[in-house]
Amino acid sequence: MTSPLFRTKNVEQSILDTEEPEHALKKSLSALDLTVFGVGVIIGTGIFVLTGTVAKNNAGPAVALAFVVAGVVCALAALCYAEFASTVPVAGSAYTFSYASLGELPAWIIGWDLVLEFALGTAVVAVGWSGYIQSLMGNAGWEMPEVLGSRQGADGFGFDILAAVLVLLLTVILVLGMKLSARVTSVVVAIKVTVVLVVIVAGAFFVTADNYDPFVPKAQPVEADQSLDAPLIQLMFGWAPSNFGVMGIFTAASVVFFAFIGFDIVATAAEETRNPQRDMPRGILGSLFICTALYVAVSIVVTGMQHYSELSVDAPLADAFKATGHPWFAGFISFGAAVGLTTVCMILLLGQTRVFFAMSRDGLLPRFFSRVHPRFKTPHRPTILLGVVIAVLAGFTPLEELAALVNIGTLFAFVVVAISVIILRRTRPDLHRSFRTPWVPFLPILSVAASLWLMLNLPAETWVRFAIWMAIGFVVYFAYSRGHSRLARGEETKPGEVFKPSGPDSR
């Protein structure tokens, strides 16, 4: 007999649940909307900062190859996401996929993981956006009061008012409707991509061929470290990664990979897509391809403008333009980064609310949060709740050290989705799949191996914090979710009828 902890929610039931009028999201997104969402969330400060930083510290001009390697790792995961999102077009992304294949407890674990990933990601990005805006204000001679411009402040207290206001403003946009969110994102992404293309084209005129010599610098071993700041693989096996050389490219790939985080959020919008079977694969794979091409182009330009050893760490692309005698580009790049982070923040918040909504609709979180707005057809209750919580988090909490949790959470989701593809192929070979991940099970296994490798390269301290968050999740599951699950109560939506919730959670 199958353990209740691993009871699965079949695909047909998941799709039927999306037809309940009070719990149904409006279908309004096209393949273009999904691609714009993907590009909007992937391209952030990474393209302006990470490219030069990794070139200087890890790979030299070969950072372009590191982006290709990281793009391939993401593509492996993206192919698995594309099959699931088109086959199970239900909000929740990896949470929903694992519920259909691995069971309720694994689904809860990945859902709990995604709640942390998206919440911290949104808060961190909002704080970064605030920093860019304050920098632009400073250039114009305007200064924020210290107590409202920094969480530390003069006397150790402060509230980042700009970060909090941004999150609350985006919360309102998400409540008002998915199509409005898509339109706002389209405008902002158009501005952001235009800035990136201008930087690439303008920078190409200042490239010096000698800066590419050597393209793959000589390898440099990294001194071993036994603290919790060291990569987990180093503490486990005594293996320390090297910088530069061929292995330095892979070391760099484990760093620049995090510039790609976000394409998986496209899958959370599957339920709101008009033709998910056709458009989800296009949106996921299309946005990933576009961003990989832009990352590679920017990395080639920045390492050609200035020798990799002379690149700055804080603002390498902006400082590279200064070094060539064009300082005004620094402000232009800051403007592009600030605009870009707006969409990153909004789409992370979007992904967070959809996962929370899906878990609530299944009863693993209070059903109160699974009611959609009668007019806008958006999950307004979790959106408002999470928006306020994240606004406070962004305003008060120092998040720099917690940002790595976003990375491990994403990689963990990649592993779960790849395994789920293999399992669902075996348990439900009869399902119609408009998009099929090629070379199953070999490609998903390769995706798992690549994601685990990058996870092992994360600091051990990140693993400890991740384990603590997961332990809290187990307590919540056994104290509440296990007993309130709709599967546990035998509450299922039948074809042609609407589920009538009962009990305190239905109010």
Report the pLDDT value the prediction gives residue 386, as an integer from 0 to 100. Answer: 95
pLDDT in tens, 264-285: 788 888 888 999 989 999 999 9
Which of 275-279, 306-310, 322-326 comes out lowest in average pLDDT?
Answer: 322-326
pLDDT of residue 332 exceeding 90, the answer is: no
Sorting pLDDT into bands at 50, 70 and 90, what band is 110?
Answer: very high
Task: Name residue 27's amino acid.
Answer: K
Q: Per-residue pLDDT averaged across 66-84, rounded?
A: 92
What are the backbone angles phi and psi of residue 315, rounded to the nearest 5°?
-145, 70
pLDDT in tens, 364-416: 999 999 999 988 889 999 999 999 999 998 888 665 555 566 778 888 989 99
- Going by C-alpha positions, the residue among 45, 1, 19, 8 that lies closest to residue 338 is 45
CA distance 388 to 411: 27
Number of neighbouring beta carbons within 10 Å of residue 154: 10
Between 151 and 359, the higher pLDDT residue: 359
- Domain harbouring 379, CATH code: 1.20.1740.10
Which of 241-255, 374-388, 462-476 comes out lowest in average pLDDT?
Answer: 241-255
Highest mean pLDDT out of 53-57, 140-144, 177-181 = 53-57
Report the pLDDT value the prediction gives residue 287, as an integer from 0 to 100. Answer: 93
Provide the token pair at 490.
Answer: 């035998």
Task: Name residue 141's amino acid.
Answer: G
Q: Per-residue pLDDT averaged across 242-260, rounded?
A: 84
Give kind and range of the element (H or E) at residue 478.
none
Going from the C-alpha of 27 to that of each of 14, 36, 171, the distances in angstroms are 16, 17, 19
Angle between the 63-87 and 245-256 helix axes, to the nearest 10 degrees?
A: 40
pLDDT in tens, 439-459: 999 999 999 999 998 888 888
Provide the token pair at 279.
Answer: 């458009």
The SS3 of residue 204 is helix
Sorting pLDDT into bands at 50, 70 and 90, what band is 154?
Answer: very low
Sorting pLDDT into bands at 50, 70 and 90, what band is 501?
Answer: very low
Give kind and range of the element (H or E) at residue 496.
none
The SS3 of residue 275 is coil
pTM for the whole structure: 0.85
Report the pLDDT value the prediction gives residue 150, as an integer from 0 to 100. Answer: 61
- Going by C-alpha positions, the residue among 47, 40, 39 that lies closest to residue 256 is 47
Rg (CA), the chain: 23
Task: Name residue 9's amino acid.
Answer: K
What are the backbone angles phi and psi of residue 466, rounded to the nearest 5°?
-65, -40
| Cβ-based burial of 336 (10 A; exposed 0-12, middle 13-18, buried ≥19) | buried
Which of 85-89, 471-475, 494-498 comes out lowest in average pLDDT?
Answer: 494-498
Q: Please name the residue that has the structure tokens 């990474």.
A: 46
Contact predicate 284/82, CB 8 Å? yes
The SS3 of residue 9 is coil
In 372-459, alpha helices (H): 380-396, 404-427, 442-456
Domain that holds residue 372: 4-506
Parallel/antiparallel/unpaired status of strands 220-221 and 242-243? antiparallel
Q: Per-residue pLDDT averaged across 409-430, rounded?
A: 91
User: Percent of the chain beyond pLDDT 90?
Assistant: 40
Which of 29-33, 111-115, 183-187, 425-429 comes out lowest in average pLDDT?
Answer: 183-187
Provide the token pair at 166.
Answer: 């941004």
Task: Name residue 30's amino acid.
Answer: S
Between 325 and 363, the higher pLDDT residue: 363
Sorting pLDDT into bands at 50, 70 and 90, what band is 498?
Answer: very low
Report the pLDDT value the prediction gives residue 260, as an integer from 0 to 100. Answer: 84
Give kind and range of the element (H or E) at residue 242.
strand 242-243
- Residue 219 is given by DSSP the state P
Dihedral of CA 501/476/114/12: which sign?
A: negative
Sorting pLDDT into bands at 50, 70 and 90, what band is 489?
Answer: confident
Start-to-end CA distance of the chain, whole Å, equals 35
- Going by C-alpha positions, the residue among 396, 437, 507 that lies closest to residue 150 is 396
81: CB partners within 8 A, 6+ apart: 93, 263, 264, 266, 267, 284, 417
CA distance 330 to 291: 22
Number of domains the chain contains: 1
Dihedral of CA 370/380/279/64: which sign?
A: negative
CA distance 172 to 180: 11
Report the pLDDT value the prediction gives residue 504, as an integer from 0 to 100. Answer: 41
CA distance 466 to 408: 8
Q: Please name the residue that has the structure tokens 């199509």.
A: 179
Between 181 and 431, the higher pLDDT residue: 431
- Going by C-alpha positions, the residue among 346, 341, 327 that lies closest to residue 174 is 346
Report the pLDDT value the prediction gives residue 342, as an integer from 0 to 100. Answer: 87
Highest mean pLDDT out of 44-53, 81-90, 221-230, 478-487 = 478-487
pLDDT of residue 476 exceeding 90, the answer is: yes
Q: Per-residue pLDDT averaged across 40-46, rounded?
A: 80
CA distance 352 to 114: 7
CA distance 486 to 330: 54
H, E, C per residue of 49-60: CHHHHHHHHHHH
CA distance 97 to 184: 29
Q: What is the DSSP string of 445-491?
A: HHHHHHHHHHHHTSBHHHHHHHHHHHHHHHHHIIIIIHHH-HHHHT-
- Residue 480 is given by DSSP the state I
Average pLDDT of the chain?
85
Contact predicate 230/460, CB 8 Å? yes
pLDDT in tens, 194-215: 888 988 999 999 999 999 989 9
Report the greatest alpha carbon distance in the chain.
72
